[in-house]
Amino acid sequence: MPAAPVELSDQAPHVLVVDDDRRLRELLSRFLFEQGFRVTAAANAAEASAKAQSFVFDALVLDVMMPGENGFDYARRVRKTSRVPILMLTARSNPNDRVMGLEIGADDYLPKPFEPRELILRLTNIINRAGGPGRSAGGDVVTFGPFAFRIDRGELRRGEEMIRITEREREILTILANAAGGSVERHVLAGDAAGERTLDVQINRLRRKTEVDPGNPTFLQTVRGVGYRLAVD
């Protein structure tokens, strides 16, 4: 008889696997799924960035040697706005690479080839250190004034009232919430040149939904010469 399909709970940790080796990427994705993880895969940093706009991940499994933007550069960019746990994979044996990865902000480092069980143990450890599934980006819920934004679901509430926000507004709030009150540069919030032209419009719409006086904002603040910050509690 065929094996019963694996059923994952809503609390199963969601991992983004980024590796340009298609065979390894598929093997890792299948193995992690069988071990109870939800998995999204990307072949390079650009694809990973696009998928990070749609999902909040509990951890990244990130290959160092990739064409285009390499794993070190992508991890450095991720760390500007997020504390999501990062496990770096590399075929390199040079200890300087491990030091570089940890200096950038990676949480752990696993050289190839590796035992699958060791991958699971290291991945579970960095997720647990971050607070468990749904909390790796800084907590399930970020509060500011009477509002609460649930990062893993992209839900904005005022008390029991659900505030309707667009998908783009949800992306902006997620990035700002992950920054935990820190300033976020305009280009990071915008994503691309077209997005930067409309960013101020989207920020103003969010202010109308969250501020008593949108012209003198308390929560969604402008940081001159930089971008914006969310004044979290």
Q: Average pLDDT across each block of 10 residues of the chain; the chain has 233 residues. List them in order.
A: 48 88 91 90 91 83 88 87 85 67 80 85 84 51 86 81 87 82 81 71 92 90 88 79
Q: Tell me if the bond preceding 113 is cis, omega within 30° of 0.
A: yes
Tell me how far apart the alpha carbons of residues 188 and 175 are, in angstroms, rounded to a whole number: 8
At residue 207, the pLDDT reads 93
pTM for the model = 0.56
Q: What is the CATH number of the domain that holds 175?
A: 1.10.10.10
Judge contact between 49 and 84, C-beta under 8 A. no
108 and 192 part of one domain: no
99 and 202 part of one domain: no
Tell me how far apart the alpha carbons of residues 205 and 6 are, in angstroms, rounded to a whole number: 42
Tell me how far apart the alpha carbons of residues 143 and 64 are, in angstroms, rounded to a whole number: 35
> How many degrees, rounded to 5, is the angle at CA 179 between CA 159 and CA 226?
115
Q: Is residue 6 part of a domain?
A: no
- Domain range for residue 103? 14-129
At residue 94, the pLDDT reads 62
Residues 6+ apart with CB under 8 A from 53: 171, 191
Judge contact between 156 and 173, C-beta under 8 A. yes
Q: What is the CATH number of the domain that holds 43?
A: 3.40.50.2300
At residue 192, the pLDDT reads 63
Q: Is residue 3 part of a domain?
A: no
115 and 72 part of one domain: yes
40 and 125 part of one domain: yes
